[in-house]
Amino acid sequence: ESWEAASPDLTRNDKSKMGPSGGPITKDNTSVEYYGTIFAALESPHEPGVLWAGSDDGLVHVSRDGGTTWSNVTPPGLPEWTQINGIDAHPFEPGGLYVAGTRYKLDDFRPYLYKTTDYGATWTEISGGIDPAHFTRAIRADPDRRGLLFAGTERGVYVTFDDGASWQSLQLKLPVVPVTDLAVKEKDLVAATQGRGFWILDDLSPLHQLTPEIAAGEEPYLFAPRPAHRLRTGRSRNVENAGKNPPTGVVFHYLLPEAPAADVEISFEIRDPAGETIRTFTRKPAEDAEKDEDEDDGDEGEDLAKLESEKGLNRFVWDLAYAGAEKFPGLVLWNSGLRGPRAVPGTYSARFAVGDWSAEAPFEVLADPRSSPTSEDYEAQFRFHLGVRDKLSEVHREIGRLREVRKQLESLEKRLKDDPEAAGLIETADALDEKMTAIEEALYQTKNRSRQDPLNFPIRLNDKLAGLLDLAGFGDNPPTAQMVAVRDKLVATIDAELAKLAAVWSEDLPAFNAMAREGGVAAVILAAEKSPK
């Protein structure tokens, strides 16, 4: 209803007595030398009525009665006229405060950082390790680890793990730039810079867990990942001056004391809540994985992701997707999104192995906070998506087997084309190939050679099913009645064609091989049916 003054005498100067700066001839009334301003203030997150204030003329005050009375608790060692540029409450001590001061306007470029845990009764300077020319602008305490502090200076960011006893640079890829303020938000560190925009250090989890023993260890170390939200994001290409979002999915960090030799096997095994393996990633992508420059990473359903194995800290991201639909060489589709279903919210685990060493870490997949489906909705979407993926994979596996049989038939015909006694066998091979071709052309548009060919040639059953696969993963919703109806109709038609092909494998091909053996010709071998991923 009304405002009340709660800041009497919180600066070095009595404003009623302050006069203009400068000399009697020329007054300096441009405000650049005005002091006596409360420059930083905060309310205690621990106790009601506890307020802190710092002024630009070098004073720190505390009130424990909501501002009715204030006590001057300026650190005794703080040089006079230090600007209190930033303060931050101690996240674990009710009487704790961190102070960042600057004196660069007085040609003093040293860092000034102080801490108290007893409401300012005693203070400790905590600037050790910061470059003496990097004056301090901000200090922030991490709420998830006691003693983890971040300092913003004129030349970048510093970190301490021991509550300020020793600092080290946390510059990484941050430009050398004045850092005017810092914020810790949901385990991310946000830096405001003077002239180079905002920067975010994603995921402070490794810093929360890092110890000298882990850093100096002789074995690899897997950090526990923070929870990952189940998000679906997009991106635009070639956007000038665009920032970069953090990766979508669960982020794993691991330390390697040395870069493993090339023959040492490294793997990440992702397991579902029941302990079943979802994906396995290694240092090498799948042998048949090809990156399509027109598609986003992983959109083709291939295991393109590979593990880094450099000495020191490495990072790996699982995008929460199960394996995509299988492909065969030369596959061209209009509906090219072959991604597998995304993991539903729940508790998962990862097993990281380097040679004979291994470690496991559980992690949470959280629902998109902007969405409100039920667990049944997630499960229905997942099962529908998985079923469509498996049927499409089955189609592509069978086409792959069919083409391998055709290659053998063509090779056999080349070898026997000049043998008059093989005319009957060649005629039977042609008939067999004709029957397979009719089935193949019903399942797949065999005229496709490039991504634009489907504009000229109608898509077939597998392409239609691929379109449904892409829609199945859209949003967080269960399949609609229309999607189920389309699935059932397509699957019924596909199964009819696959049944014809199964008859070819069980009847026509054995009969052909029997005829070939009678003529002393090697049989055509049908590749074994692969198990689904």
Alpha-carbon distances of 185 from 198, 241, 254, 295, rounded to whole Å = 14, 24, 23, 33
Q: How far apart are CA 178 and CA 157, in angstroms?
A: 9
The first and second tokens of residue 288, run together, are: 């048949």
Going by C-alpha positions, the residue among 50, 62, 16 that lies closest to residue 36 is: 16
Residue type (1 letter), 245: N
pLDDT tens digits along 338-359: 999 999 999 999 999 999 999 9
Lowest mean pLDDT among 10-24, 208-222, 318-332: 10-24
On average, the pLDDT of the chain sits at 90
Residues in the chain: 533
Going by C-alpha positions, the residue among 519, 460, 469 that lies closest to residue 494 is: 460
Tell me: pLDDT of 16 over 60.
Answer: no
Q: How far apart are CA 60 and CA 87, in angstroms?
A: 10
Q: Phi/psi of residue 283, each to 5°? A: -70, -15
Q: How far apart are CA 189 and CA 172, in angstroms?
A: 13
Return the pLDDT at 236.
64
Tell me: pLDDT of 14 over 60.
Answer: no
Residue 8 — pLDDT band, cuts 50, 70, 90?
low
**Which of the 8 DSSP states describes residue 508?**
I
Strands 228-229, 357-366: pairing kind: parallel
The predicted model gives 464-483 an average pLDDT of: 94
When computed from its CA atoms, the radius of gyration of the chain, rounded to whole angstroms, is 34
Q: Is 190 helix (H, G, I), strand (E, B) or coil?
A: strand
Contact predicate 88/111, CB 8 Å? no
The predicted model gives 286-305 an average pLDDT of: 46
Tell me: pLDDT of 299 over 60.
Answer: no
pLDDT tens digits along 39-60: 999 999 999 999 999 999 899 9
The predicted model gives 164-193 an average pLDDT of: 95
Contact predicate 408/524, CB 8 Å? yes
Alpha-carbon distances of 191 from 140, 255, 470, rounded to whole Å = 11, 26, 38
Contact predicate 337/351, CB 8 Å? no
Tell me: pLDDT of 513 over 50.
Answer: yes
Q: What value, to the nearest 5°, has the Cα angle with vertex 108 and ends 107 and 114?
A: 150
Higher-confidence residue of 130 and 518: namely 130
Return the pLDDT at 18.
63
In terms of Cβ atoms closer than 10 Å to its own Cβ (0-12, 13-18, 19+), residue 190 is middle
Q: How many CA atoms lie within 13 A of 19 on its CB side?
A: 4
Tell me: pLDDT of 302 over 70.
Answer: no
The first and second tokens of residue 478, run together, are: 């269960």
Q: How far apart are CA 171 and CA 154, in angstroms?
A: 12
The predicted model gives 175-195 an average pLDDT of: 95
Residue 175 — pLDDT band, cuts 50, 70, 90?
very high
Q: Cα dihedral sign for 484, 486, 491, 492?
A: positive
Residue 17 — pLDDT band, cuts 50, 70, 90?
low
Residue with tokens 């009710």: 94
pLDDT tens digits along 88-126: 999 999 999 999 999 999 999 999 999 999 999 999 999
pLDDT tens digits along 374-419: 999 999 999 999 999 999 999 999 999 999 999 999 999 998 888 8
In terms of Cβ atoms closer than 10 Å to its own Cβ (0-12, 13-18, 19+), residue 391 is buried
